Amino acid sequence: MQYRYSSRVAQLQSSAVRDILKLTQGKDMISFAGGLPAEELFPAEAVRQAASRVLTQGTGALQYGVTEGFMPLREQLCERMAFKQMRVEPHQLVLTTGSQQAIDLLVSVLTEPGDVVVVEKPTYLAGLQVFALRGLKVVSAESDEHGMIPEDVERIIREHKPKLLYAVPTFGNPTGRVWSLERRKKVLALCKHHEIPVIEDDPYGDIKFDDEQLPSLFALEGEAEGGTVFYTSTFSKTVAPALRTGWMMGDSGVVSMATKAKQAMDIHSSALDQRILSQLLKDFDLDAHIAVIAKSYGERMLEMHQLLRRQPALSGVKWEKPRGGMFLWVELPEALDAEALLRAAVKKGVAFVPGSSFYAEQPQRNTARLNYTYNSGERTQLGIERLVEAIGEFTARS
Ligand SMILES: Cc1ncc(COP(=O)(O)O)c(C=O)c1O
C-alpha cells in the first residue's frame, strides 16, 4: 500500500546525521553525541527503595491517576520552586512525560500551524522537531555568549509577529551558555510588552559548576497568573531520564488548557513513576545528590576542556568553557564541515553531534556539540585522541 503521510510528518524524515549516529551504538565507539547523564551516578539504590516503599503501600500505586499528575509530587515541586523565587500553586503546575512533552503541550495550545516561533541560534534539536511537527515557522534570533540579542528579537517581532518565544537561558543546549541578567530582563520586557508567551526550558539549571545563581525569566516576572513565562523542567538530569517525569508551570488557564490537551494525548504520565519520585523526595536528600553530580560533571567538563587545550593540532578550534550543563560547544576552523568530519570520526570510533543539527536556518557548519557527562577518565581521553586524529586526517585530505 502507498501510505500518504501528513504534511507535518513528511518534514520529519531521518537526517543524514541521525543515520550516522545510529551506527555509533557499538561497544568500542566512544560517544560524545548523546545528552546522557552518567549512569554510575544514578541514585539507583534510593530509587529502588522508593519504588519498593510505594509498591508495598498498596495496589493503588498501579491504578490510573489524574491528568495533572500525583498531587503530593506537585506540592513538593511547588515548595522546591519557591526556593528559587518561583512562586506557584499546585493548580499552576502539571506533571508531564519529561519536559519534552511540556514543550509540545504548550506549543499545541498556544499556536496554530503557520505561526512563527522565535528561537536562539543555535537551539535545542528536539525543540525544533516539536515546532516542525506542529507546523510552526521557526525564526532564529542572533545570539552570543550573553544570550539572545534583544535588538534582533525586536526586529523579528516587528517583521514576523511571532506567537511564541522558546529559549534555554541557563546552560543552553547545545551551547552551554547562560544569559546575562541584562539580556534576561530585556527579552522578557519585549515579550511582555508585545504579549508573546515565552517557554523557558530549564532542564540544566541545577547542574552548575559555580555559586552564581541568576534568576529564571519566570522568577524575574514574579507572577504566574496572567504571566508571559511558562517554565518547564525535569527530573531527567537530576534523578534519571527513564522516569520520564517533567513539569510545566505558569498561568492556570493555559496550564489547564494544556492539561485538556494532555488528556487527549496520553490520559496521564506514569503515576507509578510520579509516586516513586514523591517518595524519593521524602526519604532521600536530592539536593545533596545534585551537588554530587554537579561536582562530578564539573570535573568531567574540566577534563575534556584540558584535553582539548593540550592538543596542538586543535589550535584553530575555539570553545567557551561551560559554567554548567552537559555540553561543550566547539567552533572548528572555518573550512571544516562538521558533518563530513563526523563520518571520518565514526570510522575512528568516536561520535559527536555536528552543530548544523541545531540550526533552524543558515547552519554554521564548522560547529559541533560534545557531551562531557557520559564518559570520563580514559574513555574521554581516548575519545579526544580519536577526534584529534580524525581532524588531522580530514584536514590533510581536504
Ligand atoms: C533543552 C532540553 N529541553 C528538554 C529536554 C527534554 O528532557 P526530558 O524530556 O527528558 O525531560 C532536553 C533533553 O535533553 C533538553 O536538552
C-alpha cell at 294: 554537579
104 lines ligand 1 (CB under 6 A): no
CA atoms within 13 A on the CB side of 272: 12
173 lines ligand 1 (CB under 6 A): yes
Average predicted confidence (pLDDT) for the chain: 94
Instruction: Tell me, in angstroms, the distance from the centre of ligand 1 to residue 308's CA.
Output: 26
105 lines ligand 1 (CB under 6 A): no
124 lines ligand 1 (CB under 6 A): yes
What atom of ligand 1 comes closest to residue 245's alpha carbon?
11
241 lines ligand 1 (CB under 6 A): yes
CATH top class, domain 7-43+288-397: alpha beta
Ligand 1 binding pocket mutation candidate from 234, 248, 269, 277 (most atoms within 8 A of CB) = 234
d(CA 315, CA 330) in angstroms, rounded, equals 12
Q: What residues contact residue 188 under an 8 Å CB cut-off, 6+ apart?
A: 198, 217, 220, 221, 228, 229
236 lines ligand 1 (CB under 6 A): yes
What atom of ligand 1 comes closest to residue 236's alpha carbon?
10
Tell me the pLDDT tens digit for each residue of 298-331: 999 999 999 999 988 888 899 999 999 999 999 9
246 lines ligand 1 (CB under 6 A): yes
Residues in the chain with pLDDT values less than 50: none
3-state SS class at 334: coil
From the list 280, 269, 197, 232, the residue with the least C-alpha distance to 93 is 232
Whether domain 57-283 has CATH 3.30.499.10: the reply is: no
> Quick one: pLDDT at residue 15?
66
201 lines ligand 1 (CB under 6 A): yes
- Tabulate helix, strand, coil % of the chain (nearest 5): 50, 15, 35
> Quick one: pLDDT at residue 316?
85
Ligand 1 binding pocket mutation candidate from 173, 202, 297 (most atoms within 8 A of CB) = 173
Position 179: which residue type?
W
Tell me the pLDDT tens digit for each residue of 64-74: 999 999 999 99
Q: Where are the domains of the chain?
A: 7-43+288-397, 57-283
d(CA 236, CA 245) in angstroms, rounded, equals 7
